[in-house]
Amino acid sequence: MRGIELVRFLSTGFAILTILACGEQPIDVQALKSKPKEYVGSDTCKMCHLEHFDSWKMTLHSRMLQDAQKNRDAIVTEINEKEIRADLAKLGDKLKVPADKIYVPKIEEIKYTIGSQWKQRYLVEKDGKLYIAPVQYNLDTHRWVNYHEADWDKRPWIMGCGGCHATGADLEKNTFVEPGVACEACHGKGSWHAALPKTEVFEKRATIVNPAKLTMGVAVQICGSCHNRGKSTKVKGAGWPVGYEPGKALEAFYKSTSFEAGDVKHVYANEFSKGHHQQYIDWSMSKHAKEGVTCTSCHFVHQVGMPPTRSQTVGAGSKQCLICHDMINNNLAHSIHSFGNCVGCHMPRIAESAESGDIHSHVFVALLPKDTLANPVIPNSCQTCHKHKDQDLKQLQAEYDALAVLPKPVGPSIQPIHLHEPKKESPKPAEKKESPQKPAQR
C-alpha cells in the first residue's frame, strides 16, 4: 500500500518537476515577481522537500484540522448520542442548556475534527459557515463535556479560531487554503519560490522565509502568532492575527489578552499560564527569552529523517535541559531528590487544555510550597507528585527547608587540562598490591 502510494506520488512529483525544471519556456523571474505571492499548499512543497514533508506529517501541526468527510478515522471516538448525553447529564447545573437539548452532531454532519491529543472538537456547517459543535471529547478521561452549548451557532469558527488551525484563512472570502498548520503558516506564501526552477538556488532562497535566518525576535514570533492567546488589532472579534505573515512584527497584528485585568481564567496571580496555547507569553517572562534560548532551541518542527518525540523536543526528559545545563548546582533544591527530572520541577503541568494539569508551564521557574502558602490560588511544582489527600504543605516546606540547606558534595572535581605540556610516558601500572579498600583493622 505505502509502496504504491510512494511510487504514485514520486512519479507525479517527477512529472511536475520536469515541467518546472526543463519546461518549454524558461521562467521569467520579473514577470513572476510582478504578481502577488499566493499560497500554493504543502503538496507543492512536497515535490522538492519530500523529507521535510514526511517529517511534518508526523507532527500534530499537520493534523490539527482534519477532513472527517474524507477520513472518518480522524474522529478519535464513537459518536454515540446516548453516551454523549449521559456524560453531559453528569455536569448538572454547569450546563446552560439541559443535557437532552444540547445539539449533538450526527457523524455524517461532522466536516472537520479539531485536535486529537488532549481534546477533540467538531466542525459542522450551517448556512455556508463552519461552527464548532457544542460537545467536546476529552481523551485522557474519556468523557464528553459541553462547549458553548448556548451560543455555539453564533460563534463562526473562522473568526474565533481559523487562522491558528488552518493555513491561509481568509475572513472576507470565508475560506482557507489548507487544513492544519502547514508549511506556509511558518514559511509564508510560496508561489514565487515554488515556481522558480530548482537550479535558481539563490533566487529560491530569497523568495521564501527561513525562520533560522531571521532575527531571533521575529523568528520566535512565528510560533508566538499561535502559541499566544490574544485578539486581532485589525478585525474586531477575531481571535487570531489577521494579516500577519511570517517575518513580520507580530505586535502590529495581535495583542495578547491573557494579562487583561480580570482574566483570572487564563493566568494565575503570579502571571504564570493557567490556560493553554500561551507558551509564548510564559516564555517571554523567562530567563531563556532574555538569553536567546527560543522555541526551536528545544523543539523540532520537522526533523529530517527522525520521528518526533512527544512535543517534538530535541531531547527526552531531563536530557532536554542537560544539552545546555551540563553543570548545575547540586545544593539547595537540587539536593533533595535522588533523581532529578528537571521538567517535573521547572515546567510543572499547571495549565489546562482539556482537564487541569495537562500543559507544561514555560516560565521554567520551579514553584515551591511556600508560593502556594503565600497565595493559595498559586500552584506549586512539588504537588504534581507530592499530592496526597492529607498532604500538609507547611510540613513539606519545612522538610524542604531542612534538607535544602545541607551542602552536598558536587561529585568529582574538574581536572584542569594542560594543552601545551609535553606528553609524559604513562606510568607503569603499579604492582598488584592488596586491595586498598580492605579495612586496616578487623
- Distance in Å, CB of 433 to ligand HEC, minimum: 38
- Distance in Å, CB of 210 to ligand HEC, minimum: 4
Q: What is the SS3 assignment for 282?
A: helix
Cβ distance to ligand HEC smaller for residue 145 or 295? 295
Cβ distance to ligand HEC smaller for residue 327 or 430? 327
Q: By CB under 6 A, tell whether 250 contacts ligand HEC.
A: no
Q: Go through the chain and tell me how many residues it has.
A: 442
Which position among 210, 356, 375, 395 is part of the footprint of ligand HEC (CB under 6 A)? 210
Q: By CB under 6 A, tell whether 168 contacts ligand HEC.
A: no
Q: What is the SS3 assignment for 175?
A: strand
User: In the complex, which residue's CB is closest to ligand HEC?
Assistant: 190
> 374 to 403, contacts with ligand HEC by CB under 6 A?
381-382, 384-386, 396, 399-400, 403
Please give the angle made by the CA atoms of 150, 153 and 155, to the nearest 5 degrees. 95
| Phi, then psi, of 401 in degrees rounded to 5 | -60, -40
- Distance in Å, CB of 307 to ligand HEC, minimum: 11
- Distance in Å, CB of 239 to ligand HEC, minimum: 4
The H or E element containing residue 255 is strand 254-256
| Of 312, 412, 431, nearest in space to 56 by CA | 312
| Residue 237: all three cell numbers together | 472579534
CB 87 within 8 A of CB 95: no
Q: By CB under 6 A, tell whether 15 contacts ligand HEC.
A: no
Which position among 130, 145, 346, 371 is part of the footprint of ligand HEC (CB under 6 A)? 346
Cβ distance to ligand HEC smaller for residue 100 or 217? 217
Which position among 336, 378, 393, 410 is part of the footprint of ligand HEC (CB under 6 A)? 336
Cβ distance to ligand HEC smaller for residue 351 or 439? 351
CB 336 within 8 A of CB 382: no
User: Parallel, antiparallel, or unpaired for β 135-138 and 112-114?
Assistant: unpaired
CB 72 within 8 A of CB 111: no
Q: Binding string to ligand HEC for residues 126 to 155, with x set by CB under 6 A, is what?
A: ------x-----------------------
CA distances from 176 to 9, 124, 159, 169, 172 (A): 24, 15, 12, 4, 11
Which position among 95, 99, 111, 121 is part of the footprint of ligand HEC (CB under 6 A)? 121
| Of 160, 51, 159, 181, nearest in space to 115 by CA | 181
CA distances from 438 to 55, 430, 435, 442 (A): 57, 17, 6, 10
Q: Distance of alpha carbon 100 from its chain centroid, rounded?
A: 36
Tell me the window of 1-9, 104-112, 359-367, 434-442 that interacts with ligand HEC (CB under 6 A). Answer: 359-367
Helices and strands (H, E) in the chain, number of each type: 18, 10
| Of 272, 324, 329, 249, nearest in space to 293 by CA | 324
> 69 to 108, contacts with ligand HEC by CB under 6 A?
none
Cβ distance to ligand HEC smaller for residue 105 or 344? 344
Q: By CB under 6 A, tell whether 10 contacts ligand HEC.
A: no
**What's the CA gap between 18 and 38, in Å, rounded?**
22
Cβ distance to ligand HEC smaller for residue 132 or 171? 132
| Residue 396: all three cell numbers together | 513539606
Q: By CB under 6 A, tell whether 373 contacts ligand HEC.
A: no
Tell me the window of 6-14, 69-77, 346-354, 424-432 that interacts with ligand HEC (CB under 6 A). Answer: 346-354
- Provide Rg for the chain, Cα atoms: 27
Q: Binding string to ligand HEC for residues 24 to 43, with x set by CB under 6 A, is what?
A: ----------------x-x-
Which position among 233, 257, 270, 296 is part of the footprint of ligand HEC (CB under 6 A)? 296
Q: By CB under 6 A, tell whether 301 contacts ligand HEC.
A: yes
